[in-house]
Structure 1
Amino acid sequence: MTGIHTSGGAMILKRYQGEGMKRRLDALGQALDAVICAGVEIAPFLKTRANSTYFEHRGSLWTLQPWLRGRHVSLQGGKERLAAAEALAELHRVSITKQVERPSLLRVPSLSDKYRHRLERARAASLRATSLRDLWRPFEERALQAVSDLAEPSLQALERDRRRGVLCHRDPAPHNFIWQGGSAAIIDFDLAGTDVRVHDLYQMINHALYVNGYEPGLIEEIVERYDRRMPLCQDNRRVLDVLMNYPSLVVREWYEFGKSGDKKALFTRLRWAAAQEERRLAKLR
């Protein structure tokens, strides 16, 4: 990714590789056009003179997007946190079914597959730090149960949201929201796809927990503000309940340890993550 200045203002230039990306970028560009037309503040792909989402140069694919003014949202600030929740809800209000010629290109793996994969990577990493296994076992059991629950056929939120054509960001981290002094815009849709919309909300909650630690009312205010703009159906609420039992903060630390191998940092970070997850679980109970 590169920032550039043009006669039309500041832009973001991104590089992609692989023939398969052409069809995905076309589908994603159509989806983002629908979102823009619905009045949601995002950074879309700009079109070439041939009306293409991307251009080819030296064997790579490139996209150009406007550089939105503002700064990254701080999930430590109440106003900014709630503005991000509102922006996410506004994104999910838009149906992209009729606008995207091949919506199947935006399909993503099931939630049970996604969280099973992260659990397996975390479990493998835990075998490299056996002295900390006692900090892992109770959370491993919770994660296993959540993965099993997510695979239940009765949880139909994914298929319902896919049929409706809900475009989910799938990485609603603070650096992917731009604070504009009263509202938040969304950027970087590289991982976007038709997913369960409450999964986006859950990921945002986890980012808020990660930067703030557990605070009374933190989760409730985010869910309430989202629900005010885009009401959560009973099925999505059931999925959220299951996801909230998945100890993402602990799994994340083991997952990252598996990549870095830094045992010294792991102990401190793991104890902190475990404390936040225990507080979340106590609230759920």
Structure 2
Amino acid sequence: MEESFARPQEQAVNFMDTQLANVLGDVYGITVQRFIKMKSVIGVVTQQGPHHIWKPVPQSVVRRVSLVYQPLLFLQQAGFRVALPVTSRTGSLVMRLPNGSVGQLLPWLSGSHLNLANRQQRLAAVASLAAWHKATVASMPETSLQSANSNLQRGKFVTKFQFKINLCARLWPSICSIFPQLQPYTSPLFKKLSDLTQGIAQWQGSMAFCHRDLAPHNLLWEEKDAELQRKIGWIDFDLADWDDPIGDLVQVMNHTVALVAIRSGDLPEMVETYAQNLPLSREAISMLWKALHFPDVFLRTAVQWLGQGTPIEGRQRVQDAWEVELGRWQVLTQDAACVVPMGDNTTM
């Protein structure tokens, strides 16, 4: 991922990576002043500006870089702030270094990572997301990625959700054996999983160009930009593809549930903000609401903990994640009456 220029998690590098500096100079015409080593990328501070990010690209993602370029270029031209790969002097989007590693040069977008606890930022992100989906649905053919979908996608929305449902059902008995206090929740949980399974079996979704990895660190907030749409910056498109836009919205809302002490009204407000920019049918809102009942925060926490070998020090995190889900269900129950009637029958 590319970190924000305004608030990077950075560690100054005291030496010049000659190999990378030479490639950036020869291939991109950039004179490097210094490098900043971050968690997974390298900040490139140039003498002439603007500044850039050098991002390593796994071999499995190299082809995707070229496939998503045209949709991202389209969105940039439509006014969205996207970290569009910089083309080299020869027109390449990725470059191989002498040591064999591959990377891409990206613009270093200004802004700080999105704070979902901030209502203004949260709603601006949802509004921008709807505008993003609307632009690609209305103005772009899907052919640019259709031919490679079978090879590149990591599973469409419905397929991925069914996998998570099955995983949750399979792991639940083991989890209850470790946390017997969760056993009384077995019946209501499996009722929600059953309702969701039936919902996705009947769901006929739409198609848009989707980000599909909408964690807050992949969205940047630029306070100084006056235009609402350009306050949001978009980075890290390793998973981007044509998919059901409901999946992107569910991701943002699930991260909100995980990171914010949500109150009654918060989630419906996000749905309404999205629908003001891209109207949702009653069926879409019903599908969305069922998807939001899935205990995503708990499952991710439990899977991580089980994968670590069930350390004692991690038990509290699992219990805390379950408390988050209980709070989620309480709020969803309170808000159900005001959400489904929002939908119309005009769009997805």
Q: TM-score range by the shorter chain?
A: 0.7 to 0.9
* Cα separation, 2, equivalents of 1:121 and 1:258: 13
Query: What number of residue pairs does the alignment pair up?
Result: 276
Quote the offset at 1:270 in angstroms.
1.8
Matches within 5 A, 1:80-119: 80-95=121-136, 97-98=140-141, 101-106=144-149, 107-119=153-165
* Cα separation, 1, equivalents of 2:244 and 2:145: 19
1:251 aligns with 2:299: yes
Quote the offset at 1:130 in angstroms.
4.8
- The runs of 4+ residues in structure 1 deviating greater than 6 Å are none
* 1:97–1:103 contact (8 Å) kept in structure 2: no
Quote the offset at 1:4 in angstroms.
2.0
Matched residue, 1:4: 44
* Cα separation, 2, equivalents of 1:272 and 1:135: 17
Quote the offset at 1:280 in angstroms.
1.7
Quote the offset at 1:275 in angstroms.
2.6
Structure 1: runs of 5 or more not aligned: none
1:150 aligns with 2:200: yes
| Secondary structure in 2 matching 1:210 | helix
RMSD: 2.5
* 2:211–2:241 contact (8 Å) kept in structure 1: yes
Matched residue, 1:263: 315
Quote the offset at 1:178 in angstroms.
1.0
Identity %: 24
1:189 aligns with 2:260: no
| Secondary structure in 1 matching 2:135 | coil
Matches within 5 A, 1:114-133: 114-126=160-172, 127-128=174-175, 129-133=178-182
Q: TM-score, structure 2 length as denominator?
A: 0.71
Specify which of 182, 201, 205 is matched with residue 249 of structure 2: 201
| Secondary structure in 1 matching 2:81 | coil
Matches within 5 A, 1:1-285: 1-6=41-46, 7-18=48-59, 20-57=60-97, 58-95=99-136, 97-98=140-141, 101-106=144-149, 107-126=153-172, 127-128=174-175, 129-134=178-183, 137=186, 138-152=188-202, 155-157=203-205, 160-161=206-207, 166-181=208-223, 183-260=231-308, 261=310, 262-284=314-336
* 2:297–2:324 contact (8 Å) kept in structure 1: no
* Cα separation, 1, equivalents of 2:162 and 2:191: 12
* Cα separation, 1, equivalents of 2:94 and 2:146: 18
Distance 1:282 1:59, change over 3 A: same
* Cα separation, 2, equivalents of 1:35 and 1:274: 38
